[in-house]
Amino acid sequence: MQYRTRFAPSPSGLLHVGNAYSALYCARWAEQHQAELLLRIEDIDHTRCRAEFAEHIITDLHWLGLSWPQPVRYQSQCLAAYQEALLELKNMAVVYPCFCTRKDIQQEINRMPSAPQAESSAPIYPGTCRNLDFNQQQQRMKHEPYAWRLDVQKALTKAGENLSWQDGSGKRYPAQIDHDIVIGRKDISFSYHLSVVVDDAEQHISHIIRGEDLRDSTGIHRLLQELLQKPEPVYIHHALLCEANGSKLSKRDGSVSLQSLRLMGVDAQKLHAFLNHATPLSWPFTQARAADILDILGN
C-alpha cells in the first residue's frame, strides 16, 4: 500500500513558525516512510480566508524546500462533494436544524443546574433544538437562520457504540464526542469536520498528521467516516511548537510569520535544523530584535 499524508493549512493569515514545524514534521514522516505528501488549501471559510494568503502559503512552503504532487486541492472548489455528504447525513436522519445563537446557548446553559462542560472547560451544546418536532423545524426554517447539527447518539447507534481510532503505534482509542457538533454552518454551509472527512477520503489519505490541539476532533471524524462509509486512516498527533512563555502560536496573536523571516534574510535550512531539534519545543525569538534572529538563523 502506498502511504499518503497531507499538510492542510487554512489561508486565513500568513503561515507562522508553528505551521512550519507542522509542515516539516509531515515532510520528514513522508520521507521516512516513502509516502506521498499532498498539499491541501482549506479555504472553505470564505468569511476568513483570502486568495492572497493561499498564494503566500505556497511561496513560503517552496522557500522551506517542500514540494507536492499537482494539482493542489482547494476546498472552495469541492463544495458539491460536501453537499452530497451532508445530504447523505440528512437522509440518515442523524442531523437536525439548530436555530440557536451563541447567546442562546449560553443562556440555556446558565439556566441549567449543572452546566455541561467540555474537557477544555468551554460550555458544550445542551441539545436545545434536538427534540423539536418536524412541523416546528419546518416552520422555523422558513424564516430563521439555522445550522445543521449531528445528533451524536443517533449517529453512534448507527455507527456502533464501540467506535475507535488508531494512532501511529497501532494503539486504539475510543472515539469520544461530548456534544452534538455543527456539520453545516449558517454562514459557510459546511463545517471543517465534514469537509476534511470528505477530502481525506477522496485524496486517499492513509495517515493524518496534525497537531495535538486537533486530537479532540478525531472522534468526530471517525464517526463521520463510519456514517459516510469512508476508509479509516491512521492518526498521528504531534506536539506543538509554542511561544517561549508556553502559549500556543497563532495567526490571530501575530506569531512570527515565515514571510517576515524570509524577508529579513533567514536561511531556510538553518530554520529547518532549528525547528527539527528545538529543545524544549518552543520559539524563543517572539520578542527579540531581528538581529537576534539573524545571529542564529541568518544567511
pLDDT tens digits for range 131-185: 999 999 999 999 999 999 999 999 999 998 789 999 999 999 999 998 899 999 8
* Close Cβ partners of 98 (under 8 Å, ≥ 6 residues apart): 125, 128, 129, 146, 147, 148, 149, 180, 182
pLDDT in tens, 195-215: 999 999 999 999 999 999 999
**115 has pLDDT over 80:** no
pLDDT for position 148? 96
Instruction: Tell me the C-alpha distance between 135 and 151, whole Å.
Output: 18
pLDDT for position 243? 83
Most confident range (mean pLDDT) of 53-67, 112-126, 174-188 is 53-67
Instruction: Tell me the C-alpha distance between 86 and 190, whole Å.
Output: 8
pLDDT for position 296? 84
Question: Under a CB-based contact definition with an 8 Å cutoff, are residues 239 and 281 in contact?
Answer: yes
- Which of the 8 DSSP states describes residue 88? H
Instruction: Tell me the C-alpha distance between 226 and 65, whole Å.
Output: 37
* Nearest by Cα to 62 from 299, 281, 258: 258
Instruction: Tell me the C-alpha distance between 99 and 129, whole Å.
Output: 7
* Nearest by Cα to 230 from 254, 257, 205: 205
Task: Identify the residue whose cell numbers are 472548489.
Answer: 77
Query: At the topology level of CATH, where does 81-184 sit?
Result: Glutamyl-tRNA Synthetase; domain 3 (3.90.800)
pLDDT for position 254? 61
pLDDT in tens, 256-272: 899 999 999 999 999 99
Percent of the chain surpassing pLDDT 70: 94
Look at the alpha carbons of 170, 172, 178, 179 in this order and tell me if their dihedral is positive or negative: positive
- Average pLDDT over the chain reads 90
Under the banding of pLDDT at 50, 70 and 90, the label for residue 290 is confident
pLDDT for position 111? 76
pLDDT for position 223? 97
